[in-house]
Amino acid sequence: MLSEIALKLIQGEFICQYTNANLFNELNKEDEVIKQEVERFLSVIGRTLQTNTRGTTFFAAHLPDSPGAKEEARKAFEKLRERIRPTLSFLQLMAEINAHEGESSVFIQGGEILSVPEVIAGIEHNQAHLNSLDRLIWVRKKDDPLSVKVRQLFKELEKEGLLAIKNPKTERYVVTGKTDVIQDALSFIVDIESISAPQASDSNQGQGELKL
């Protein structure tokens, strides 16, 4: 068990509550025996065990003080930067499909189930959703039928580790803990860049100008 966990971690895999419950539970045990063993093992190679805000997944990270960690972190960010817009567009699309009438929608999170037929049904009669789907980078052939595009989207996101197939027959996917981690990272960007909503005074000023 220990070597299986260590191997996955040093290969950069996420040990998620929803897709790898056995290994996750071993790491999450109260006695923390396995967790400490893994920590000791990772410390030898300058890594440490980390979890996300919701505690839904474990992953290996560089020790912040280890040489090269800063450079690695910057590289990881550069890699994520290219994916920010598409990831947000996907989250928006899923939130809008899942939202019930008159409700403000929230983004999906780890553990939620997404059904391909339901997503297809949610998109097919809504031109705005169809346009959003076509703009996603994971959908390569825009002329494909809707069902093909949605299936391709889910397959691609599965490859990226954001979704995992739960039931191939019913085409039900589970949102992984890695999705939670990425949302945490995006949230970090908002904080560190001090991105905030436009000031109310600005909009008032705008309205005043319109009246004139």
Partner 1 sequence: MSAFQEGHQKEVEGLLATISKHRDLIARGYSARRGAEFSPEEEVSVQLLRSLGLVRPTGDGQFRLSKQLRELINRGVNRHHIRDINVNLGEYLDSLELTINDYLAAKYSKDEIILENAIDEMVSVFYEIGDFFSDASVEIDQQVKLVIGNHAYGQERIRVIRAHLAKLDRLQEAHETITQLLDDEIYTEDPLLSDERIKFLARTLRYIDQVKSTHYEIKTVLHMREVREQRTQKLRLLDAYLRENPTATFENTSENAVNFTFFQCIEPTRVQSFINFESNDHNWIEFYEQTIHALGQKKPYRPEHFTRPASGPTNMNKVLHQKEEAAAMKIINDLIRYIYTNKTAVSVTSFKHTHPLSGSVSHGYWLYISRMHPARLLLSPKSRLARFFKVTPIFSEHLAIEGNRRIKDVVISHIHASRTHFENLKSDIHSVDEVGS
Q: Which span (37-45, 128-136, 140-148, 164-172) binds partner 1, by CB under 8 A?
A: 37-45
Q: From the CB of 170, what's the least distance to partner 1, in Å?
A: 17
Residues that contact partner 1, how many (by CB under 8 A) = 73
| Site for partner 1 contains 128 (CB under 8 A) | no
Binding residues for partner 1 restricted to 87-106, rule: CB under 8 A: 88-89, 91-92, 95, 98-100, 103-106
Of 125, 143, 195, 199, the residue at the interface with partner 1 (CB under 8 A) is 195
CA distance 179 to 160: 10
CA distance 112 to 157: 15
Of 41, 90, 154, 173, the residue at the interface with partner 1 (CB under 8 A) is 41
Are 173 and 113 spatial neighbours (Cβ–Cβ below 8 Å)? yes
| E strands in the chain | 15-16, 47-51, 57-62, 113-115, 163-167, 172-175
| Site for partner 1 contains 33 (CB under 8 A) | no
Q: From the CB of 66, what's the least distance to partner 1, in Å?
A: 6
Are 37 and 2 spatial neighbours (Cβ–Cβ below 8 Å)? yes
Are 158 and 173 spatial neighbours (Cβ–Cβ below 8 Å)? yes
